[in-house]
Structure 1
Amino acid sequence: MAIIKDKNGQTNSINQVRYGCAIGALYSVAAIPGAMPITHCGPGCGDKQFTSIAFYNGFQGGGYSGGAVAPSLNAGENEVVFGGENKLRGLIKSTLKIMDADLFVVLNGCIGELVGDDVGSVVGEFQKDDIPIVYAETGGFKGNNYIGHELVVKAIIDQYVDKFAEDKDKEKGLVNVWSLLPFQDTFWRGDLVEIKRILEGVGLKVNILFGSGSGGVEEWKTIPKAQFNLVLSPWLGLDIAKHLKKKYDQEFLHIPVVPIGAKETTRFIREVVEFAGIDNTKAEEFIKKEEKEYYYYLEHFADFYAEYWWGLPAKYAVVGDSAYNLALNKFLVNQLGLIPGRQIITDNTPEKYRASIAKEYETLSDDVSTTVDFVEDGYIVNKLLKETDFGHKPPIIFGTTWERDTAKELKGHIVEVGFPASYEVVISRSYIGYRGALSLLEKIYTTAISASA
């Protein structure tokens, strides 16, 4: 259960929560190789973020600095009454002795912010000694972990990366990528690897910043040298790119549709290459090679798609964050010819971005449009799904664990594509790009025919 405010400022409870709170951005830190989060919060806060974001969401695990590893103040009654600055100071000292990391990030939670702990002052004592440490104010009332992510990224840039920005020269062809939210997006690890593979394949040098493809903290130091920033999502990362524009005079390219399949991926590549102003010869060779392989597999898949006697889903619904929701809709309509039924975005998209995102659904294809609902409450989500006319065939629902019972009630199929995904074990799977789309096709139609057996 979580508490939110509607646009009229009224407080309402919601169930079946689909994101963490702002301090959940500790997993944005954990996703940076060599970075260590330190949480200034109560004993349950970090554990709840782990079990929801990183465990019952593809069972991703905490890795080197997440899960039970991340140091925490474990604030109690004493810190609520007398403040936790001294205890935080001791925690940081102990962490520096015990934990091996290239960068430490202190995340201030609800208790610290409410009682007025001056976390910046405490962290500043260590910063004066040239210790690589920063802090971010990420109390849960600031918003969810999407908002927390942007707060943490800006904190790292302003308090740490900026020290290495003396060289104002930009490196032609170097791009910073701001895209899917680590851990929250169930398939982020494989997806970011695929994004980097594609961009490097066309001749760019890539700061992917998070995950196994990242050079870690050393890579973050080169952020100011990038020729431009690429925001590959409907809205997440835009504030970061605008911040970097003001700070380092870096241009940015915003592409709202995360590409799935050949059509969108080829379009994505050409738009990026044109913006970067690099020679497109390598890019066109890469496209030719990737499309040849992609359509080879699709040609053989077509026999199944055209001839399968038991019948396949014709209409679908997508329930999830804005990035995957929009990406899936573009793919399902243009690549598979499926009919959109109900689209529900659940990431509490900031109001200022909703109109532009909704407009994308009006032009899914030349002759296909649909509408989108922005809903967070699980009761309302499932009510909308049950009210949707999916025709005489069982629908396929791209959603989360929360939609499983509704899918059964509708005699439909469920493919879990977002938080929480507690019936998926995800290690390095990707659903985007050329290669990820093939994995997605396998998942969709294995699910469909298995349910028919």
Structure 2
Amino acid sequence: MSKFIEQPRYSCALGAQQTVVAIKKAVPILHSGPGCSGKISSLIGQGEGYAGGNTIPCTNSGETEVIFGGEDKLRSVIEGAFKVIDAELYVVLTGCTSDIVGDDVESVTTEYQKQGKIIVYAETGGFKSNNYVSHDIVVNAIIDQYVDKYKTDLNVEKGLVNVFATIPYQDPYWNGNLEEIKRVLEGIGLKVNILFGHESGGIEEWKTIPNAQFNIVVSTWVGLSIAKHLEEKYGTPYVHFPYLPIGGNETSKFLHQVSEFGKLDKTIVEAFINKEEEKFYSYIERTADFMLEFRYGLPRRFYTILDASYAIGFSKFLLNELGIIPAKQFIIDDTPEEYREAIIQQFNKISEFRSAKVEFLVDGGAVQEEIRKDTNKNRALILGSGWDRDLATELGADLLIVSVPVAYRLTLNCGYAGYNGGLRAIEDIYDSVLNTYR
């Protein structure tokens, strides 16, 4: 029996179009029905990038393609994209229609690959998974069909790392988060392939993926299949930090773990961490008077309605750095079963003295009903999405929009990862709090 999900906070598998849009001068070509791409862009878009939004080429498959097949139409759209859009990589993505009909997209794409065109394909029929899963599928497809063919050599470059962290656009703050992750890793002496966004070198950077000394996964579960694939393909080891590091404590822990794994120069690592911690906590110290004066009007507990990486990262940060107590935490990314126990264990040891209850629930309406039932009347902070604005108003709670859909704020290079992200989170949280005083 089908189940209606209220207030969706991620998209179908075709949402991986945004993964492609986030690569410099890369263009998704959709073999899907009309309207699919537009709905995805409205949910997780926020900006068109080089060739996103209404620019994305699409076959707009309809009744004719269902009956007679859509391979000829796909060829026509691909050839049109080559003529009209000056891209460095084209990625064909399938939607539900073409996957149900059974169009041979691999055969069509291979024709152009044999002509020397830089084009790859991935099966992303919406019914197959969500965009958390298909993000990894698309990245692996680019590695197998592009990187592997155009790699310059297989010489391991000492200090070079590939980072697989957050999903572009599904994380509204992906660009700022990736910039900060790259900054702190470079600070301890690494050369970083960040792969997406402004700080990436584009597809030339992707070509050097096989040359990395090791890979870094900064996520609870997304990105792990990429790292495992690269380990099998090129023998590249990987280190896994299972949530987004936010603030001084967790960012330092992240850098120490990477340093130990990569056997980096401890002098350089400790000097950078000490400098960053000194700066971070100097700003925290300046808030002491504010925290004391407003202690009865500040949030005392918090809920997260986020994906696993953000939920764990923010829970550790809010409890251990700001002293806000966790209420029940909700994970909304449809986490695969095999990763759930590890997530529960993270919340069981959220700090040395406290644990937090966690529930895996993708229905935003059901999550909100759970929060409404909470009898604790202390002022709360909700970390959720634009869907939760009315709930926050109803409960008299403060809201920090972290998850899609964002709707009520514009994001450019804002991010919550790292030392700088922690400071930005504090500013945004308490800006929201102070805005309630009249």
Question: Which whole-Å CA distance do the structure 1 matches of 2:287 and 2:186 have between them?
Answer: 28
User: Shift of residue 164 of structure 1?
Assistant: 3.3
User: Shift of residue 108 of structure 1?
Assistant: 0.9
1:442 aligns with 2:422: no
User: Shift of residue 393 of structure 1?
Assistant: 2.5
Secondary structure of the 1:235 match is coil
Question: Which whole-Å CA distance do the structure 2 matches of 1:370 and 1:384 have between them?
Answer: 15
Relative distance call for 1:309 and 1:224 in structure 2 (3 A) is closer
Relative distance call for 1:82 and 1:256 in structure 2 (3 A) is same
Structure 2 residue aligned with 1:404, among 389, 399, 417?
389
- The equivalent residue for 1:7 is none
Question: Which whole-Å CA distance do the structure 2 matches of 1:165 and 1:446 have between them?
Answer: 48
User: Shift of residue 202 of structure 1?
Assistant: 0.7
Pairing of 1:385-404 with structure 2 (within 5 A): 385-390=371-376, 392-404=377-389
- The equivalent residue for 1:33 is 24
The answer on whether the counterparts of 2:152 and 2:207 sit within 8 Å (CA) in structure 1 is no
Structure 2 residue aligned with 1:66, among 52, 68, 71?
52
Question: Which whole-Å CA distance do the structure 1 matches of 2:231 and 2:79 have between them?
Answer: 35
1:129 aligns with 2:115: yes
**Deviates further, 131-140 or 275-284:** 275-284
Q: How many residues of Structure 1 are paired with residues of Structure 2 in the alignment?
A: 438
User: Shift of residue 450 of structure 1?
Assistant: 1.1
- Show CA shifts across 1:255-287 (max 9, x none): 102111111111111110111112121111111
The answer on whether the counterparts of 2:44 and 2:169 sit within 8 Å (CA) in structure 1 is yes
Question: Which whole-Å CA distance do the structure 2 matches of 1:164 and 1:126 have between them?
Answer: 15
1:423 aligns with 2:408: yes
- The equivalent residue for 2:285 is 299
Question: Which whole-Å CA distance do the structure 1 matches of 2:220 and 2:27 have between them?
Answer: 28
- The equivalent residue for 1:278 is 264
User: Shift of residue 177 of structure 1?
Assistant: 0.4
1:194 aligns with 2:180: yes
User: Shift of residue 309 of structure 1?
Assistant: 6.2
Structure 2 residue aligned with 1:46, among 37, 45, 54?
37
- The equivalent residue for 1:332 is 318
Question: Which whole-Å CA distance do the structure 2 matches of 1:212 and 1:165 have between them?
Answer: 22
Structure 2 residue aligned with 1:413, among 398, 407, 417?
398
What letter is aligned with 1:23? Answer: L
Question: Which whole-Å CA distance do the structure 1 matches of 2:122 and 2:235 have between them?
Answer: 24
- The equivalent residue for 2:13 is 22
- The equivalent residue for 2:222 is 236
Segments of structure 1 that go 5 or more residues without pairing to the other structure are 1-9, 55-59
Secondary structure of the 1:335 match is helix
The answer on whether the counterparts of 2:9 and 2:404 sit within 8 Å (CA) in structure 1 is yes
Question: Which whole-Å CA distance do the structure 1 matches of 2:96 and 2:435 have between them?
Answer: 46
- The equivalent residue for 2:95 is 109
The answer on whether the counterparts of 1:342 and 1:388 sit within 8 Å (CA) in structure 2 is no
- The equivalent residue for 2:340 is 354
- The equivalent residue for 1:77 is 63
Secondary structure of the 2:403 match is coil
The answer on whether the counterparts of 1:341 and 1:388 sit within 8 Å (CA) in structure 2 is no
Structure 1 residue aligned with 2:143, among 149, 154, 157?
157
User: Shift of residue 310 of structure 1?
Assistant: 5.5
- The equivalent residue for 1:311 is 297
Which runs of at least 4 in structure 1 moved beyond 6 Å after TM superposition?
Answer: none
What letter is aligned with 1:47? Answer: G
What letter is aligned with 2:119? Answer: I
User: Shift of residue 318 of structure 1?
Assistant: 0.7
Question: Which whole-Å CA distance do the structure 2 matches of 1:388 and 1:143 have between them?
Answer: 32
Q: Structure 1 vs Structure 2: percent identity of aligned residues? A: 49
Question: Which whole-Å CA distance do the structure 2 matches of 1:295 and 1:379 have between them?
Answer: 38
Secondary structure of the 1:316 match is strand
CA-based RMSD of the aligned residues comes to: 1.2
**Deviates further, 285-294 or 162-171:** 162-171
What letter is aligned with 1:101? Answer: A
Question: Which whole-Å CA distance do the structure 1 matches of 2:152 and 2:33 have between them?
Answer: 39
The answer on whether the counterparts of 2:327 and 2:357 sit within 8 Å (CA) in structure 1 is no
Question: Which whole-Å CA distance do the structure 2 matches of 1:393 and 1:114 have between them?
Answer: 51
- Show CA shifts across 1:237-272 (max 9, x none): 011111111111110111102111111111111110
Question: Which whole-Å CA distance do the structure 2 matches of 1:353 and 1:344 have between them?
Answer: 15
Question: Which whole-Å CA distance do the structure 2 matches of 1:417 and 1:175 have between them?
Answer: 27
Question: Which whole-Å CA distance do the structure 1 matches of 2:432 and 2:176 have between them?
Answer: 21
Question: Which whole-Å CA distance do the structure 1 matches of 2:380 and 2:220 have between them?
Answer: 26
What letter is aligned with 2:433? Answer: A
Secondary structure of the 2:200 match is coil
User: Shift of residue 165 of structure 1?
Assistant: 4.2
Question: Which whole-Å CA distance do the structure 2 matches of 1:144 and 1:210 have between them?
Answer: 20
- The equivalent residue for 2:201 is 215
The answer on whether the counterparts of 1:320 and 1:419 sit within 8 Å (CA) in structure 2 is no
Question: Which whole-Å CA distance do the structure 2 matches of 1:380 and 1:71 have between them?
Answer: 36
Question: Which whole-Å CA distance do the structure 1 matches of 2:392 and 2:16 have between them?
Answer: 31
Question: Which whole-Å CA distance do the structure 2 matches of 1:388 and 1:243 have between them?
Answer: 43
What letter is aligned with 2:36? Answer: C
User: Shift of residue 291 of structure 1?
Assistant: 1.2
Normalising by structure 1, we get a TM-score of 0.95
**Deviates further, 381-390 or 165-174:** 165-174
Question: Which whole-Å CA distance do the structure 1 matches of 2:39 and 2:131 have between them?
Answer: 13
Secondary structure of the 1:106 match is strand
User: Shift of residue 62 of structure 1?
Assistant: 1.1
